[in-house]
Structure 1
Amino acid sequence: MKQTFKYILVFLSFAYLLASCNVMKRVGEDQFLLSGNTTMVNGKKVNTEAINNSYYQKPNGKLLGYPLRLHIYNLARPNLDSILKDKIYNDPKKLAWKTRLLSRKQLDKDVQSRLDFNAWLKKTGEAPVIVDLPKTEKTTTNLSRYFISNGWFDVQTSYSISKTDNRRASVTYFVETGKPYILDSISEKIASPVVDSLYQNFKKESLIKSGEQYKETNFTNERERLTSALRNSGLFHFGQDYITFDIDTIGSSKKVFTDLIIKNRSIRYEDSIARVPFKIYKIKQVNIYTDHTYTNKETETLDSIEYKGYKLYSYGKLRYRPKALTDAVFISKGELFRDLDRSRTYRYLTDLKVFRYPNIEYIENAQDTTLTANIYLSPKKKYDLGYEINVTQSNIQTIGFSLSGGLIIRNVFRGAETLEMSALGSIGSSKDASISQDQFFDINEAGGNIKLTIPRIFFPIRTNKIIPKYMSPSTRISVGATTQRNIGLDKQTLNGTLNYNWNPSKRTTNSLDFFNLQFVKNLNPDNYFGVYQNSYNTLNDISNSIDYNNGEDLTYPGQTDQFINDVLTGNTSITPSDDDFETVSAISERQNRLTENNLILASSFNYVLNKRENLLDNDFSIFRFKFEVAGPLLNTFSRWTGSKKNANDQYEILGVAFSQYMKGELDYVKYWDLGRKNIVAVRSYLGMAIPYGNSNSIPFSKSFFSGGPNDIRAWTAYNLGPGSSQSINEFNEANMKITLSLEERFNVLGNLNGALFVDAGNIWNIADNVNDDRATFSGVDSLKDIAVGSGFGLRYDFTFFVLRGDIGFKTYDPSYDLGERWFKDYNFGNAVYNIGINYPF
């Protein structure tokens, strides 16, 4: 308590210190603090991102309306080094007194620490933004340039400064655009005949079109488009500098006359420059050096082979099947030079993951207009071995040790394949081990996984026409198994996957699980109520309420199973109309669901459209779609073989009823960059899984949950829903989910950022064996059970990752009765504190 009071006192003292600082402390008597910018365009206020980016001066940033960084800056003392020098070092008496208390070295260190802290205040804070006339005039120039670049050539700009008695001032910028200029005739002046001929093929896609308003960005983008198109048509020496636009606005007709000018190629000699027409270049030869290194670059090659027009060289025995390498090269003998082929070759060779970044160079043949392409490959090590040892502790484990290791073998079958083998082993001691008759290490797990990645589609039928190699197709085959013994249900799992990946475009990723096999066997289902204590306590309370076990607690599994059976068969005083009967029935259904063995054979397709250009792009969207279907093959097999159904009318394979369901997911994320490190992000998610045929419910591993640091942050994971039910379960899950999130992110100071957020959503059961109306989605009316959480957070950007802390408050809680759901537990005592890595979406 004393420690908490200490922290509160420090915080209040710091807050008082900031609040008592005069915001005008560092503003001179004849200076004015900038309080705001306004731009009036043709008499109307405009506040777009482009306008904001034109301001040379912007007011000091604020956190929730408070200029925190300005106050921090004001805490720093100007010219502190001179002050300390005059007060200490230039005063012999004070210096002598100081050095008697401290050594000279300690004194210097103390002075330097004060200087460092003062410098930190300046760096962390933000100097007051003083209205500066030259910068204000530069802003008007920026505004003029912006409107001129978008076709308003007659734009007029001015400004006025409104000053107050407390030395604050705001600037208003006035823009009169006039009428925009429209593109009229567009003519071409192309010097090289071959370029002129090619241009006629590209002309119809031109971004500069007669009748449209002049925009400078269209001319810039047209230059880039033409350069790319011509360099992908054999013009090896062509560059963007050869393209210019001559723009004429003669007269007062507000029309723009444009000449597209493409010059001849320039060749620079020692004392002159010659202009010659461009020529189309073809690839004469492609050489692939398969094991190029700095040490052997001067060594004569010992092995070479020609395969489908390619020449492959090696400094020892060729370690790769030729087809594996030539399939990764898009530069072909006899074809035109294309920049696109070079970039695709770079990407595909890198994606093989058996070479370091390749080097591609073109050598011009002087005798003709041909090129020799040399591709230099530097192999990575064939074998990589890694391991990791961990010591862990948790609320159920006093101590645990784990050892994991992995072996990577590259080019395992000489086709640039990568084989990864990993294994995991762990032992631990539960908190009950010391009082148990069992061995001390009563928790253990062992498992292994093998994954083979093939850099092409591995399929009996040729797929080159459907998925061409420029899409970087790959195949992943994996098999894994684990067995674990803990204080839970204990499990054995077996999984196998055949997966295909390809990228139709730079922004699009497709993934197909041709099949995904999962088998889960619970080894200790009798310990169910030992794991799920909430369910046990509820069941035990109902038993005691009717004195079922003579006032004694139920033991499990014997007495708990017997009590459930007696209730459901009418052998107790509890009737089907009682609430306790429904509770016991729900506990029984969940017990059967979570202790049943699972056999899942599923196929799924995953589509991702990511419009983010790079890590610095904060104005983009991401769309994800996934569809999964499980069980139809096993169902067909069971019918064809005449398999009999069990007592629950289900087919079984190896004694396990296989799952059959369809599952779909839609996920959309959108970012808006508002400037000055202010970003608004929105996420919407809809997921639904429908059991059919051999199943009346979804496997637990395939169901949806709500809550947690990346979901509805006002609830912990698995703690929300389903619907408006007041669930007693440790893990709440269902087969339908809706999530909506809105978050504003802003800079606080330095690398510290803040966020305000609102999350909404819930899970429900639909078309399965759950009969609780409160947990079931019944249409639009069920949307009233969408939970709402709101809160705030802080994030520190370490560049390579973001450490995130969020506090979520239950704003609308559907577990309460209608009319009592808003702000029922809206306080810090019932808040959820989340810690996460990187952003939630």
Structure 2
Amino acid sequence: MPLIALAVMALAAVSCSTTRRLGAGETRYTGVGKFNVETPGDEKAPIALVDGLKEAANCDANDYVVAPFIKIPLGLWVYNNWNDSAGGLKGWLYNKLVKAPVLISEVRPEMRVKLMEQILDNNGYFGSTATYDIRYSKTNHKKAGVDYEIRLTNPYRIDSIIYLDKPEPMARFVDSVAKKSPYLQKGEVFCVDSLASERIRIVNAMRNRGYYYFRPEYIEFLADSLITPGNVAIKLTIAANTPKMARQQYRTGNIYTTILRDSQSDPGTPDTIPTKRGDVIVMRPARLRKNLIPSCVTFREGKIFSVRDMNRTQTRLSRLGIFGNIQIQPVPVDTTSGNATLDVYTTCQFDQPIEASIEVNATSKSNSYLGPGLILGLSHNNLFGGGERLGLQLTAAYEWQTGRNRGSVFNSYEFGLNASLAFPRMLAPSFIKRTNRELNWTTINLGASILNRPHFFKLAEFNTGITYEWKASRNSVNQFTPFKLSYNKLISTTHEFDSIMSQNPAVALSFQNQFIPQMSYTYTLDKFFERERINGINFSVTVTEAGNIFNGIWSACGVKGEKKLFGTPFSQFVKGQAQLVYSRRLIKATDHWLVSRVLIGAAHAYGNSREVPYSEQFYIGGANSIRAFTVRSIGPGSYRAPESVKDGYFDQTGTFKLELNTEYRFPIVSVLHGAVFLDAGNIWLLKNDPMRPGGQLQGATFLKDIALGTGVGLRVDIGMMVIRGDLGYGLHAPYKPGYFNIPFKDAFAFHLAIGYPF
């Protein structure tokens, strides 16, 4: 009770202090109070219309948001109680936090109701009214909010549409586009914004049909509400001041593409190359394949000129990644009736082909290892003159173990070298469906790494493969890896590691020396359902198989039993994973989002393998998973490594995974954002392992095995990068009896990461 009384007194003190410096006749604005929209009959007002009216009424008051539903006028309190002439740290804080009071006179509610009535007229609600009432605070007459009352009439609807109906080609084309409109239909509610959208839609269609100089202001809609009471007749016309060039349909004339060198001091010597897509003028010396530019140009001489071809050509040239500047300029040459043409001049300037990068990071892992990392990158973006990208990446990391059980001075390290060569085209059969609007990529990879855990093992891995990436539509991406070969070899092990493996043969099998020949396919769909980006989904599914082709070849050759490649067994398994992320914008035109994810995966070893390789098994927990638990600290199922087994995290993997996440993201101030989240899930074993009791997936214990956690987070979103800190609180651990079974002092986990979790 004393705490409650103290809180009430503090709020009262803040309330009084927020109006202390107001002058005579000044009233502080506290926000919109009641907002009532009254409609005739039982019909509800359209949501979009109500949102527009609320936006017109809205004016931010002096509220500083510190949580989703907690608002404190901190800046206003500073304005009233701090000295604006203070220096040093206090002066700096004053300038950062201070907010002058928002006054009723500045809000101007009388102008806002006029704007609302204009919105109502534009949406066909002619004769509707909007009024306001200033509502003063009962405890402080210098504070007031504003109530708004809107009374709607029945909306006017489209009664008839009169088209151009003229024999000219342009008029016939405009009529054909307008008649296909989903809005220009009898019975639709009259709306000025919808008519404006129709103008843009018609003009876009015309500019893709050769009418390059046509603009939206040349389309006019005349409305008459007197012919039929309560209805509107629409007449489509072309503005009288439309210039002749805008009425003319153009075809593509000559096509010129100029490639400039990246050197400003030496422009080079022009070399003209005739192609089927026009003349390519290359300033020599320059490394450029003859057919690269024509493959990106979508214009055709004699074809009806289209703005869509301009955009596609610009996009293709940009995605090559070899040009720093690209400009496309159509120039009218012949404007005579029936034979008007536009010559197309494209100018591209090479960017510097070689890039170097360096990245320094620090990692903290759940197995108490902490240390720095370094990534050195070197790339050539135009290796053979066809936009080929050669990338070399050297990774290095050094870690030491913290805590009481830290080991020797020489600790864990990892080195890796990866090389990739990417071609901006499909080096594959032409029957694979892909869109020509986007670049398609073929990437060849080669890599090697060494991982040293001084208390356990030294592991070497080699891999190579080829991957195709293409887009079958605007929102979908396909990745197909027809061949990837990995080789894992334990170079050395310690007695401690051997002891752990001897206690769990299943885990030991997953660590054995083996080849992993794989084939995989990934499909990703990423789209929003509305132009306003309100509802969006990201769906991805990956299917991987390993060893089946090799096993079939060996079997066909009569090999029985365990099959080997170069004297080493190869792995055979299938693995699949699917993820669906749904994003919902809660408040229009704001960064209030509700984002949810469902992830499910399974892997099964058979044939030439008894266990899925350790690197291909699932684990859970960490910054991008269930954030109330660290990586590999839960699962499989209700299994918990005995306290006598040091570093039991080796056992914390499985062959089935389910993860459910939901997160409310909201802005706080400037680039600082917040989040409240709820995570659930676990991993299981599809095969029973006696050494890991409770780890097998079973229906009777499925719900009890679901780990549950919640928490809050802060994010610094600067656009190109998001720095995220999440504090998770565990609600249920599957390895403990009962529910909500984690002691308060052991329930927290903090994660610092880059990027959003999903």
TM (norm. structure 1) is 0.77
Residue 8 of structure 1 is matched in structure 2 by none
Match runs of 1:101-116 below 5 Å: 111=87, 115-116=91-92
| The 10-residue stretch of structure 1 (383-392 or 340-349) with the greater mean CA deviation from structure 2 | 383-392
Could you tell me how far apart the structure 2 residues matched to 1:770 and 1:155 are?
75
The code of the aligned residue for 1:57 comes to C
Residue 76 of structure 1 is matched in structure 2 by 79
**1:369–1:768 CA distance, 2 compared to 1 (3 A):** farther
Residue 715 of structure 1 is matched in structure 2 by 629
The code of the aligned residue for 2:158 comes to L
Structure 2 counterpart of 1:633, from 549, 561, 568: 549
**1:374–1:748 CA distance, 2 compared to 1 (3 A):** closer
Retained in 1: the 8 A contact 2:326–2:347? yes
Structure 1 counterpart of 2:236, from 260, 271, 288: 260
| The 10-residue stretch of structure 1 (45-54 or 408-417) with the greater mean CA deviation from structure 2 | 45-54
Structure 2 counterpart of 1:157, from 119, 130, 140: 130
Could you tell me how far apart the structure 2 residues matched to 1:163 and 1:496 are?
73
Deviation of the 1:458 alpha carbon: 0.7
Retained in 1: the 8 A contact 2:544–2:576? yes
CA offsets per residue over residues 57-89 of structure 1, 9 Å max, x none?
3554454588654134212348956xx6xxxxx
**1:244–1:800 CA distance, 2 compared to 1 (3 A):** same
| The 10-residue stretch of structure 1 (393-402 or 805-814) with the greater mean CA deviation from structure 2 | 393-402
Residue 388 of structure 2 is matched in structure 1 by 417
Residue 616 of structure 2 is matched in structure 1 by 702
1:287 aligns with 2:260: no
Q: Secondary structure at the match of 2:712?
A: strand
**1:429–1:811 CA distance, 2 compared to 1 (3 A):** closer
The code of the aligned residue for 2:450 comes to T
Could you tell me how far apart the structure 2 residues matched to 1:623 and 1:393 are?
30
Could you tell me how far apart the structure 2 residues matched to 1:502 and 1:224 are?
31
Kindly report the root-mean-square deviation, in angstroms, between the aligned alpha carbons of the 2 structures: 4.0
**1:16–1:654 CA distance, 2 compared to 1 (3 A):** farther
**1:249–1:410 CA distance, 2 compared to 1 (3 A):** same
Could you tell me how far apart the structure 2 residues matched to 1:319 and 1:186 are?
58
Residue 456 of structure 1 is matched in structure 2 by 425
Could you tell me how far apart the structure 2 residues matched to 1:363 and 1:506 are?
30
Q: Secondary structure at the match of 2:214?
A: coil
1:330 aligns with 2:298: yes
Retained in 1: the 8 A contact 2:583–2:595? yes
Retained in 1: the 8 A contact 2:514–2:569? yes
The code of the aligned residue for 2:558 comes to G
1:363 aligns with 2:336: no
Structure 1 counterpart of 2:593, from 661, 669, 680: 680
1:55 aligns with 2:26: no
Retained in 2: the 8 A contact 1:193–1:277? no
**1:435–1:808 CA distance, 2 compared to 1 (3 A):** closer
Match runs of 1:207-226 below 5 Å: 207-208=182-183, 209-226=185-202
Could you tell me how far apart the structure 2 residues matched to 1:435 and 1:835 are?
26
Deviation of the 1:495 alpha carbon: 1.4
**1:417–1:134 CA distance, 2 compared to 1 (3 A):** closer
Retained in 2: the 8 A contact 1:430–1:441? no
CA offsets per residue over residues 233-272 of structure 1, 9 Å max, x none?
11121122212211222256422211122347744xxxxx
**1:114–1:725 CA distance, 2 compared to 1 (3 A):** closer
| The 10-residue stretch of structure 1 (789-798 or 761-770) with the greater mean CA deviation from structure 2 | 761-770
Q: Which runs of 5+ in 2 are unaligned?
A: 1-5, 643-647
Q: Secondary structure at the match of 2:702?
A: helix
Deviation of the 1:19 alpha carbon: 5.3
Could you tell me how far apart the structure 2 residues matched to 1:793 and 1:224 are?
42
Residue 569 of structure 2 is matched in structure 1 by 656
Could you tell me how far apart the structure 1 residues matched to 2:78 and 2:358 are?
50
1:234 aligns with 2:201: no
Deviation of the 1:230 alpha carbon: 0.9
**1:395–1:768 CA distance, 2 compared to 1 (3 A):** closer
Retained in 1: the 8 A contact 2:212–2:246? no
Higher-Rg member (1/2): 1
Deviation of the 1:232 alpha carbon: 0.9
CA offsets per residue over residues 275-305 of structure 1, 9 Å max, x none?
56722211221112122568589x7954222
The code of the aligned residue for 1:243 comes to I
CA offsets per residue over residues 4-60 of structure 1, 9 Å max, x none?
xxxxxxxxxx99997574223232476365264222222799996445423233554
Residue 527 of structure 2 is matched in structure 1 by 610
Retained in 1: the 8 A contact 2:18–2:80? no
Retained in 2: the 8 A contact 1:192–1:278? no
The code of the aligned residue for 2:614 comes to F
Could you tell me how far apart the structure 2 residues matched to 1:663 and 1:444 are?
31
Could you tell me how far apart the structure 2 residues matched to 1:65 and 1:443 are?
43
Could you tell me how far apart the structure 1 residues matched to 2:549 and 2:746 are?
52
Retained in 2: the 8 A contact 1:34–1:59? yes
1:483 aligns with 2:450: yes
Q: Which runs of 5+ in 1 are unaligned?
A: 1-13, 85-109, 268-274, 531-555, 565-583
Q: Secondary structure at the match of 1:356?
A: strand
Deviation of the 1:360 alpha carbon: 1.3
The code of the aligned residue for 1:212 comes to E
Residue 643 of structure 1 is matched in structure 2 by 559
| The 10-residue stretch of structure 1 (444-453 or 702-711) with the greater mean CA deviation from structure 2 | 444-453
Q: Secondary structure at the match of 1:290?
A: strand
Could you tell me how far apart the structure 2 residues matched to 1:605 and 1:435 are?
42
Deviation of the 1:829 alpha carbon: 4.4
Deviation of the 1:758 alpha carbon: 1.7
Retained in 2: the 8 A contact 1:811–1:826? no
CA offsets per residue over residues 135-188 of structure 1, 9 Å max, x none?
323333343344444332232222334434213544332222222222221122
Residue 36 of structure 2 is matched in structure 1 by 40
**1:40–1:405 CA distance, 2 compared to 1 (3 A):** closer
Deviation of the 1:703 alpha carbon: 2.5
Could you tell me how far apart the structure 2 residues matched to 1:192 and 1:345 are?
34
Could you tell me how far apart the structure 2 residues matched to 1:425 and 1:67 are?
45
Residue 645 of structure 2 is matched in structure 1 by none
Tell me which protein shows more helix as a share of its residues.
Answer: 1
Percentage identity across paired residues of the two chains: 22
Tell me which protein shows more strand as a share of its residues.
Answer: 2
Could you tell me how far apart the structure 2 residues matched to 1:782 and 1:708 are?
21
1:503 aligns with 2:503: no
Could you tell me how far apart the structure 1 residues matched to 2:210 and 2:688 are?
61
Q: Secondary structure at the match of 1:462?
A: coil
Retained in 2: the 8 A contact 1:207–1:221? no
1:173 aligns with 2:148: yes
Structure 2 counterpart of 1:730, from 640, 645, 649: 649
1:472 aligns with 2:439: yes
Q: Secondary structure at the match of 1:713?
A: coil
1:752 aligns with 2:744: no
Could you tell me how far apart the structure 2 residues matched to 1:392 and 1:680 are?
29
Could you tell me how far apart the structure 2 residues matched to 1:509 and 1:196 are?
40
CA offsets per residue over residues 714-736 of structure 1, 9 Å max, x none?
11122222233334531522222
Residue 812 of structure 1 is matched in structure 2 by 732
**1:485–1:619 CA distance, 2 compared to 1 (3 A):** same
TM (norm. structure 2) is 0.84
The code of the aligned residue for 2:16 comes to M
| The 10-residue stretch of structure 1 (391-400 or 17-26) with the greater mean CA deviation from structure 2 | 391-400
